[in-house]
Structure 1
């Protein structure tokens, strides 16, 4: 092999996404099944919002989709994690995947034959219930399929495909709704979801390891006590809440588009996709992520970087610069998500992983909604730029103070 070829190979190994987990068939099927189903999930999210507005001509009804989906996500996210610690995770994943798939079929039938907004809302709630249990279960399965030293790489691949789905799903939604209508969108979602069902069917038995607890309130409470008693695990949640609650600018995209970029729909689209695009790029160039050992300190600084890039984007007068800065923030957010997930999957014992993944899911689902509320309220009170830029700067300051003030988290090393 020539020196040049060896140099290229070394660069790829150091900087490009680590694909070694793909050599594990069970993980590979789980990853691509989840990736395809998430595209369909995002497509359905677009179609549901559009159909609710078409049926009601009311933004209030569209807004009600938030709590209709969020309440099952919170309740069943916590409970689902407890169930995942007490039963065969393969059977649980298959069961809740079938629940979500059935809800998608109900949306399809409703779109073609009934057009009933109440049935649509009920189907969304049931779909969210299935997702709330499936997500922590799937994440708790990964350390059982992948060697410990490859868990960060597996998480990177998961988050990268998820971010790609966040880009492709809405784009596909616009094309499908224009050409085929709501029924076609739900049909495509149902077909894509079959890949996730197939992956669940092919998994091995995944019975609980170690001591198990009945999946009730006591088990959920035990999981929460474990989090509160472990400063490292607790801080992995705290820093994420700081990142989303203080710095997420998503709710301010419409106002920024209207006041700075002439109300252009294209500008709004680029702003909406920017963070996910940055996460995809971050996933591609993530070969180094799994080699970072001092993940507590690294996580603190990468979230501070997220806050600073968001703040800078709020000052950008050119669309390309705002998108580039938000994409840089998305890169940082992807790295943050990988390290937070890795801490939960490798630091905690297997009998706690389901419950911790349930809490992780609730934080991931609820944190951005706190960020939307914070952004909207502060923009209404202080104006767009103070709300956007101030939130980013406050995120960076608070996470540095909090993250570096906890000795165990500051000193935490993986592996």
Structure 2
């Protein structure tokens, strides 16, 4: 039986059934959108404030180092916590902690001479808190919407990130330029307070089991579960290939300089988000795809091919088009990966699976920047783009051959309302 919200198959617009059928999903989606908006304002303000206070590019770059380790360590424990505690409670408590950190940044920015160390402290603590929070938030979704709406829910969540990634950085930059850094922190604090009010209205999402082992052993249990499922493992590896090899964010300033178009730097940063937004806005087709492993692998191939094409693009506008195509590929991969995780991972392991996803989602872009920057220093910007794109394309082909379970994955085997034998 379906939820009764099925739409005409010819439509490309996103399926809004999860919004209509689940009050708690609407609240959670809106809370996340509000939080993301405010967080982007702070992510824009912190590097700018450090640059103003120190004048050191190294000091600005150190923010990433301050964030990466806490994200990894606390994200792993956050996955265990999501399978032990009430997920709504974890999300709400960590949101309160993040609001307190925003208040700290605001207070420091209002001092006559702001200190630098609170910026690093807040960045590291915020990364740790978000590492604790994200697995619980991700693991909540399958408990908030019907089984047959999980693909649509994943598409709507990706749409949220696409809209925010495109619009929020420009708005944040404008606000900081006109009203100063404290205004950005004030906006962030206000969005957290609104988000807390929304999350407080979501029903509890308690764990469906009692903890039976120490946290480290439980994490190992979750990692062992993923390792013994080639289809699930393949989703992580495809994501890692796309971010390590074909997410050339570190090269954007140099691409703009190479084209004598520093004015286009913002366009380079937003091109991927624009492509994701177009894919999300026309993503109604995703609900009619049943073999979800195939678009995971094909989207990674698209990301690689588009990145390699950017290396030989004759002008900046073609580069932007290629980056937008890669962004659309990232959106497709994210949508179907989340569907596989939400539909096929048992609820008692879902938090730990989300913790592993957070680990890869954090490490992949950082390693990608390191790879792209190092290769560009030795062989040039275009070579770094071309090599990364071809490596991503080749890796997706290897994964398709080495992990047939992912290529054959059929979501109808995990839906009680559709018979698996009906697959063509």
Q: Same fold (TM over 0.5)?
A: yes
Scaled by the length of structure 2, the TM-score of the pair is 0.92
How do 1:15-54 and structure 2 match up within 5 A? 15-23=12-20, 24-54=22-52
Matched, 1:385 2:410: no
Return the alpha-carbon distance in structure 1 between the equivalents of residues 225 and 8 of structure 2.
41
Return the alpha-carbon distance in structure 1 between the equivalents of residues 65 and 29 of structure 2.
29
Return the alpha-carbon distance in structure 2 between the equivalents of residues 214 and 51 of structure 1.
44
Report the counterpart of residue 249 of structure 1 in structure 2. Answer: 248
**Does the aligned pair in 2 maintain the 1:32–1:195 contact within 8 Å?**
no
Report the counterpart of residue 196 of structure 1 in structure 2. Answer: 195
- Of 58, 61, 65, 1:60 maps to 58
**Structure-2 change in CA distance of 1:100 and 1:215 (3 Å):** farther
Matched, 1:280 2:272: no
- Of 368, 373, 376, 1:376 maps to 373
**Does the aligned pair in 2 maintain the 1:136–1:361 contact within 8 Å?**
yes
Return the alpha-carbon distance in structure 2 between the equivalents of residues 196 and 310 of structure 1.
36
Return the alpha-carbon distance in structure 2 between the equivalents of residues 205 and 26 of structure 1.
10
Return the alpha-carbon distance in structure 1 between the equivalents of residues 168 and 104 of structure 2.
20
Report the counterpart of residue 418 of structure 2 in structure 1. Answer: none
**Does the aligned pair in 1 maintain the 2:81–2:351 contact within 8 Å?**
yes
Shift of 1:305: 0.9
- The alignment of Structure 1 onto Structure 2 pairs a total of residues equal to 404
Report the counterpart of residue 11 of structure 2 in structure 1. Answer: 14
Report the counterpart of residue 131 of structure 1 in structure 2. Answer: 130
Gaps of 5+ in 1: 1-8
Q: Which runs of 4+ in 1 moved over 6 A?
A: none
**Does the aligned pair in 1 maintain the 2:278–2:328 contact within 8 Å?**
yes
Report the counterpart of residue 6 of structure 1 in structure 2. Answer: none
Q: C-alpha offsets along residues 35-69 of structure 1, whole Å, 9 cap, x if unaligned? A: 11101111110100000111111111111100111
**Structure-2 change in CA distance of 1:215 and 1:343 (3 Å):** farther
Return the alpha-carbon distance in structure 2 between the equivalents of residues 280 and 297 of structure 1.
21
Return the alpha-carbon distance in structure 1 between the equivalents of residues 68 and 387 of structure 2.
27
Q: C-alpha offsets along residues 314-356 of structure 1, whole Å, 9 cap, x if unaligned? A: 2212222211121111111101001111111111100001111
Matched, 1:300 2:297: yes
How do 1:117-196 and structure 2 match up within 5 A? 117-196=116-195
Return the alpha-carbon distance in structure 1 between the equivalents of residues 135 and 214 of structure 2.
14
Return the alpha-carbon distance in structure 2 between the equivalents of residues 296 and 195 of structure 1.
37
Q: C-alpha offsets along residues 259-294 of structure 1, whole Å, 9 cap, x if unaligned? A: 1x20x2321111111001111111111001122111
- Of 78, 81, 86, 2:79 maps to 81
Q: C-alpha offsets along residues 77-121 of structure 1, whole Å, 9 cap, x if unaligned? A: 110110010011111111111111111110011101251111121
**Does the aligned pair in 2 maintain the 1:167–1:277 contact within 8 Å?**
yes
Gaps of 5+ in 2: 1-6, 413-424
Return the alpha-carbon distance in structure 2 between the equivalents of residues 142 and 303 of structure 1.
24
SS, match of residue 284 in structure 2: coil
Shift of 1:168: 2.0
Return the alpha-carbon distance in structure 1 between the equivalents of residues 140 and 198 of structure 2.
12
Q: C-alpha offsets along residues 144-165 of structure 1, whole Å, 9 cap, x if unaligned? A: 0011111111111111111221
Return the alpha-carbon distance in structure 2 between the equivalents of residues 186 and 327 of structure 1.
30
Q: C-alpha offsets along residues 204-236 of structure 1, whole Å, 9 cap, x if unaligned? A: 121111464456211111111111111111111
Return the alpha-carbon distance in structure 1 between the equivalents of residues 394 and 340 of structure 2.
23
Report the counterpart of residue 3 of structure 1 in structure 2. Answer: none
Q: C-alpha offsets along residues 371-407 of structure 1, whole Å, 9 cap, x if unaligned? A: 1111111111222212111210221112112223212
Report the counterpart of residue 218 of structure 1 in structure 2. Answer: 217
**Does the aligned pair in 2 maintain the 1:86–1:215 contact within 8 Å?**
no
Return the alpha-carbon distance in structure 1 between the equivalents of residues 312 and 96 of structure 2.
46
Return the alpha-carbon distance in structure 2 between the equivalents of residues 387 and 345 of structure 1.
35
Report the counterpart of residue 319 of structure 1 in structure 2. Answer: 316
Shift of 1:135: 1.3
Report the counterpart of residue 106 of structure 1 in structure 2. Answer: 104
Report the counterpart of residue 96 of structure 1 in structure 2. Answer: 94
**Does the aligned pair in 2 maintain the 1:99–1:126 contact within 8 Å?**
no
